[in-house]
Amino acid sequence: MKEQFFKITGSIVHEGEIPEDDFSMFVKAIDDRDAVQKIRETLRTQAPNVAGRMSGRVVIKGIEKRSVPEG
């Protein structure tokens, strides 16, 4: 299967009084479900965390298929 580029937008919603953090990322994936899975994994391991766990939950707001990433 051929991989395609996707632009994923969303936010990390924190518990408590901390406002949500928006993000927009490009990823190369087989389909939109694979793209979302890759983004969630990246954020889980790279976003600020407490005791090894991301402090909040990821909310996907948009998935856009791109033929070539815009720069």
Q: The domain that contains 56 carries what CATH number?
A: 3.10.20
Q: What predicted TM-score, i.e. pTM, was given to this entire model? A: 0.79
Residue 30: the pLDDT is 95
Residue 35: the pLDDT is 96
Q: 3-state class of 64 per DSSP?
A: strand
In a domain, 49, yes or no: yes
More confident call, 44 vs 26? 26
> What distance, in Å, lies between the first and last C-alpha atoms of the chain?
25
Range of the domain at 46: 4-66
In a domain, 71, yes or no: no
The number of distinct structural domains making up the chain is 1
Q: How confident is the model at residue 26 (pLDDT cuts 50, 70, 90)?
A: very high
CA pair distance 20, 50, nearest whole angstrom? 16
Across the range 18-37, mean pLDDT stands at: 92
